[in-house]
């Protein structure tokens, strides 16, 4: 199967093996978001990756068409991130792509993705196709546009992948539909002190799923409801229970209603089963029909 989007690259989807070091795990502190956008009426995917390393914050923006072809990609290296505002101009055939960002006042939590005080804008032939952050008015003023033009752009948030860290509790924020409510997601699992660990998943502090006898049910799936929407949760905690100390668990939250078809015939024990390369081809058609959102979490235990 071809990788999709092609801009992700092999390093973006690998799960660390037993030779991993703490430096490698720090390098994996990355959040990748995928947005379905329109370029002159044609659908495309814009991938935004936020990274945090020992050298600082990093950012990359990639644009793919729907035939798995990477149209362009921009990397803002961490050691250049001291210049926290700027722009890049690119050519796609006979068209112009402009990328603007300002993170000079950005606030960050534990995630490399900024919380507030920033903007990131992507323009195609002088039209805004993607605008992120809470400083949208400032962004539009900078690029001599208006927020009304972006409101009609049709950009849709369709997928997210994130590495999270903890000892017993692992948390993140998630929207299970485009422009939906932001929820707090917490995964709880004590695999050190308990002989018979239990997996608990909470949404906004409310328990939505509990898996007992986890050593027998270290892989599986279960449907929960969030905002009245069915969300299929897949989990693989084999590395936590039977692997080495550097192993990670993998969780996938999928609002696509064709999840049974998505996973049919595929063993979750295959690390590629929970990567972009595996599910993207099946998920692409359903996403483009507006059927759902996918969130993949790689949960690493802190030493």
pLDDT digits (tens, 9 = 90+) for 219-274: 999 999 888 888 999 999 999 988 766 778 999 998 855 444 444 433 343 443 44
- Domain shared by 173 and 140, yes or no: no
pTM of the model: 0.77
- Which one is predicted more confidently, 35 or 284? 35
**pLDDT (tens digit, 9 = 90+) per residue, 64-75?**
877 667 788 888
Range of the domain at 77: 6-154
Residue 160, domain member (yes or no): no
- Domain shared by 85 and 215, yes or no: no
Predicted local distance difference test score (pLDDT) of residue 124? 87
Average pLDDT over the chain reads 76
Label residue 295 by pLDDT band (50, 70, 90). very high
Which has the minimum average pLDDT: 27-36, 124-133, 137-146?
137-146
* Listed ranges 15-29, 110-124, 277-291; the one with the highest mean pLDDT: 110-124
- Domain shared by 38 and 132, yes or no: yes
Residue 236, domain member (yes or no): yes
Residue 125, domain member (yes or no): yes
- Which one is predicted more confidently, 102 or 3? 102
Main-chain dihedrals φ then ψ at residue 155, nearest 5 degrees: -65, 135
- Domain shared by 296 and 204, yes or no: yes
Residue 231, domain member (yes or no): yes
- Domain shared by 197 and 276, yes or no: yes
- Domain shared by 147 and 17, yes or no: yes
Residue 239, domain member (yes or no): yes
CB 273 within 8 A of CB 266: yes
Residue 124, domain member (yes or no): yes
């Amino acid at each position: 199967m071809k990788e999709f989007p092609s801009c992700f690259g092999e390093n973006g989807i690998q799960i660390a093996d037993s030779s991993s070091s703490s430096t490698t795990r720090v390098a994996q502190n990355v959040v990748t978001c995928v947005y379905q956008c329109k370029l002159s009426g044609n659908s495309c995917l814009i991938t935004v990756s936020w990274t945090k390393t020992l050298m600082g914050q990093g950012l990359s923006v990639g644009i793919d068409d729907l035939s798995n072809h990477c149209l362009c990609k921009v990397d803002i290296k961490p050691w250049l991130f001291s210049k926290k505002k700027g722009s890049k101009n690119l050519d796609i055939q006979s068209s112009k792509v402009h990328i603007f960002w300002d993170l000079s006042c950005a606030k960050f939590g534990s995630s490399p993705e900024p919380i507030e005080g920033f903007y990131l804008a992507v323009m195609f032939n002088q039209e805004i196709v993607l605008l992120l952050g809470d400083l949208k008015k400032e962004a539009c003023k900078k690029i001599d546009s208006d927020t009304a033009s972006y409101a009609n752009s049709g950009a849709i948030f369709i997928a997210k992948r994130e590495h999270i860290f903890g000892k017993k509790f692992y948390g993140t924020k998630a929207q299970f539909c485009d422009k939906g409510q932001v929820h707090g997601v917490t995964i709880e699992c004590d695999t050190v002190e308990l002989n018979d660990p239990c997996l608990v998943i909470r949404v906004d502090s409310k328990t939505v799923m509990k898996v007992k006898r986890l050593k027998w049910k270290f892989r599986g799936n279960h449907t929960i409801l969030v905002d009245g929407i069915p969300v299929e949760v897949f989990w693989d905690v084999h590395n936590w229970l039977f692997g080495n100390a550097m192993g990670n668990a993998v969780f996938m939250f999928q609002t696509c209603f064709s999840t049974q078809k998505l996973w049919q015939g595929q063993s979750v024990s295959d690390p590629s089963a929970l990567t972009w390369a595996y599910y993207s081809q099946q998920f692409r058609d359903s996403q483009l029909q507006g059927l759902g959102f996918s969130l993949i979490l790689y949960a690493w235990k802190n030493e």
